[in-house]
């Protein structure tokens, strides 16, 4: 984690000094930023899983994941403010390494390194480490992991598209309404990014806190409560985003209200999703599971959703690109893909709910050493006195 965060700090700072003639270098450095971030975010949740269990783990996971929407929102607020104050977007990238260096120092000094599965087995996992190929086979046969990963991918698609295009959509909407004059660089002023950032921070804090609280209260009574909460969050956010998209042409305040409600419902899932992975996967395979889930959700989710929406918008406005009203409408129509993906994500979590009780029990039995793994990895031979895995 220290190595990954160090790469993140160095490449973020370095990318702010790249000149226009070396754009390829900027792309390369920004890619390395993602590499550094991934090597940190893959391992960090598994350490929380090794340190805590039960309701306390849920609380700590919530405290960790609450900073995904908070950090994203602060990026809009601070980034746009710094760029506006200095007249150069590069200074926003130079502020990040300062905060990253503080995190790096705290990580080096304070972060423990517990044994794998320490909280689950009261001192260490009884499971032997297996090869990477065996781990991947095990995860692909774990239905709860597969379906929840598809749900996370749908979430990432939504959050990536919203983060990239919402300020531009609202800026174009205000141009068509005559609130703002047309401009060359979008969004027209940093206020759109600033307001969207504030909304993202507040809804992130509220959504993650609410989701983890509901999960703790329902989990003992409803065994598959976690994926059901995620499904409700995704399915309920879809009509909110649809309403926000439709209202953008007539009422900016109403649009922000429904975006806020939708983001709150979407944020219910952040901590719960991580908790699901930790208890349906055995400790020695959690880091691999995190890595695969992160890779899939970025590759098929937020890495492509901004480009896809932009490509749809460009295709719709190809013959009327000079019309400000149509430039807004084309982006608005492309945004309609987001509610559809939200419904799809909700269905993925409903599928997770069908398998999660069995998969969680299997992971607990294997972690406790009550089952012996055989080939294929998801079939187990029960020992004396244990239930069928």
- DSSP per-residue string spanning 266-299: HHTHHHHHHHHHHHHS-GGGHHHHHHHHHHHHII
Residue 37 lies in a domain: no
Burial of 206 (0-12, 13-18, 19+ CB in 10 A): middle
pLDDT, tens digit (0-9, with 9 covering 90-100), for 324-367: 788 899 999 999 999 999 999 999 999 999 999 999 999 988 87
Could you tell me if 157 and 299 are in contact, meaning their C-beta atoms sit under 8 angstroms apart? no
CA of residue 125 relative to chain centroid, distance: 28
Residue 22 lies in a domain: no
pLDDT, tens digit (0-9, with 9 covering 90-100), for 172-205: 898 888 777 776 666 556 677 788 888 988 998 9
pLDDT, tens digit (0-9, with 9 covering 90-100), for 240-270: 999 999 999 999 999 999 999 999 999 999 8
Q: pLDDT above 70 covers what percent of the chain?
A: 89
CATH of the domain at 369: 1.20.1250.20
The number of folded domains in the chain is 1
| Band of pLDDT at residue 381, cut at 50, 70 and 90 | very low
Residues near 165 by beta carbon (within 8 Å), at least 6 away in sequence: 306, 309, 310, 331, 335
pLDDT at 377 over 50: no
Mean local confidence (pLDDT), 105-130? 75
pLDDT at 45 over 90: no
Q: Tokens 């499904």: give the residue.
A: 231
Mean local confidence (pLDDT), 109-132? 73
Q: pLDDT above 90 covers what percent of the chain?
A: 48
pLDDT, tens digit (0-9, with 9 covering 90-100), for 58-79: 888 888 888 888 888 888 788 8
| Band of pLDDT at residue 387, cut at 50, 70 and 90 | very low
Per-residue tokens: 361: 């029990």
Residue 3 lies in a domain: no
pTM attached to this predicted model: 0.83
Phi, psi of 354 (to 5 degrees): -70, -25
Residue 47 lies in a domain: no
Range of the domain at 351: 54-87+134-376
Residue 273 lies in a domain: yes
pLDDT, tens digit (0-9, with 9 covering 90-100), for 288-319: 999 999 999 999 999 899 999 999 999 988 86
382 DSSP β-pair partners: 371
As a whole number, the mean pLDDT across the chain is 86
Residue 301 lies in a domain: yes
pLDDT at 124 over 60: no
**pLDDT of 188:** 57
**pLDDT of 64:** 87
Residue 246 lies in a domain: yes
| Band of pLDDT at residue 382, cut at 50, 70 and 90 | very low
Per-residue tokens: 293: 């889930």
**pLDDT of 231:** 97
Lowest mean per-residue pLDDT among 29-33, 117-121, 150-154: 117-121
Phi, psi of 337 (to 5 degrees): -65, -30
pLDDT at 82 over 90: no
Residue 43 lies in a domain: no
pLDDT at 383 over 50: no
**pLDDT of 324:** 77
């Amino acid at each position: 984690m220290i190595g990954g965060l160090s790469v993140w700090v160095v490449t973020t700072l370095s990318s702010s000094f790249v000149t226009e003639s070396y754009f390829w270098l900027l792309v390369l450095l920004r890619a390395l930023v993602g590499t550094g971030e991934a090597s940190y975010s893959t391992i960090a949740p598994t350490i929380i899983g090794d340190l805590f269990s039960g309701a306390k783990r849920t609380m700590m996971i919530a405290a960790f994941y609450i900073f995904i929407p908070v950090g994203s929102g602060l990026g809009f607020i601070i980034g746009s403010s710094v760029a506006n104050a200095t007249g150069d977007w590069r200074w926003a990238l130079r502020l990040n390494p300062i905060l990253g260096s503080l995190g790096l120092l705290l990580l080096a000094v304070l972060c423990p390194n517990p044994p794998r599965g320490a909280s689950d087995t009261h001192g260490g996992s009884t499971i032997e480490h297996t090869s990477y190929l065996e781990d991947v086979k095990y995860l692909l046969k774990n239905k709860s992991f597969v379906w929840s990963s598809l749900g996370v991918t749908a979430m990432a698609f939504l959050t990536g598209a919203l983060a990239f295009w919402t300020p531009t959509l609202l800026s174009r909407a205000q141009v068509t309404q005559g609130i703002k004059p047309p401009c060359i660089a979008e969004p027209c002023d940093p206020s759109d990014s600033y307001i969207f950032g504030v909304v993202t921070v507040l809804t992130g804090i509220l959504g993650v806190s609410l989701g983890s609280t509901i999960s703790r209260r329902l989990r003992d009574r409803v065994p598959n409560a976690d994926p059901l909460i995620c499904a409700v969050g995704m399915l309920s956010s879809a009509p909110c985003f649809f309403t926000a998209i439709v209202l953008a042409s007539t009422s900016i305040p109403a649009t922000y209200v429904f975006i806020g409600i939708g983001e709150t419902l979407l944020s219910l899932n952040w901590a719960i999703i991580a908790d699901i992975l930790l208890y349906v996967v055995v400790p020695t395979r959690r880091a691999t599971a995190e890595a695969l889930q992160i890779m899939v959700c970025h590759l098929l989710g937020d890495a492509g959703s901004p480009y896809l929406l932009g490509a749809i918008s460009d295709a719709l406005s190809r013959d009327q690109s000079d019309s400000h009203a149509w430039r807004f409408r084309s982006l608005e129509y492309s945004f309609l893909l987001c509610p559809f993906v939200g419904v799809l994500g909700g269905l993925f979590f409903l599928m997770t709910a069908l398998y999660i009780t069995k998969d969680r029990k299997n992971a607990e039995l294997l972690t406790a050493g009550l089952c012996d793994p055989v080939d294929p990895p998801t079939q187990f031979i029960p020992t004396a006195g244990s239930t069928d895995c």
